[in-house]
Amino acid sequence: MGLSPFSNWTGNYQSPSVTGNPDPQNFKIIKTKTIGTNSLIYVNFPDCKNYGGDKILLIVGMSNKEIRKLKKLDPHFHESQPIGDPYIVARFTPTGAGWGTGIHMLKYLNGEFIEGQKKK
């Protein structure tokens, strides 16, 4: 007979909870790529548990030098961005593919030619 895909089964399964929000004052920048005033950063938040605390963030309006001086970095999106805080416009999965996608977006934001595109 089997289990209907539309049944209301409520077995003992509990989804694994991810605890540990990133502490904006406890982070380590692993690597950066800056084009113009936009930067892609690979950063680790040791207090965060998902992906081992690793995050890839795309920040606009900040150079590599400015990012390296940060004492506070909140990886979350905010509707009203505090003045002086990094303006995060995108996050990517912290993998090689995520970094590559972030590089393409960084180039796109700066109007650079992206492989496979034809210049107009």
Indicate the pLDDT class of residue 59, thresholds 50, 70 and 90. Answer: very high
Task: Determine the pLDDT at residue 82.
Answer: 67
DSSP codes joined into one string, 14-81: -PPP------TTS-EEEEEEEETTEEEEEEE-TT--GGGGEEEEEEES--HHHHHT-S----S--SSP
Q: What is the pLDDT of residue 117?
A: 56
pTM score of the predicted model: 0.75
Name the average pLDDT for the chain: 81
pLDDT of residue 120: 52
pLDDT in tens, 13-53: 454 455 678 889 999 999 999 998 899 999 999 999 889 99
More confident residue, 76 or 120: 76
For residue 75, pLDDT beyond 80:
yes
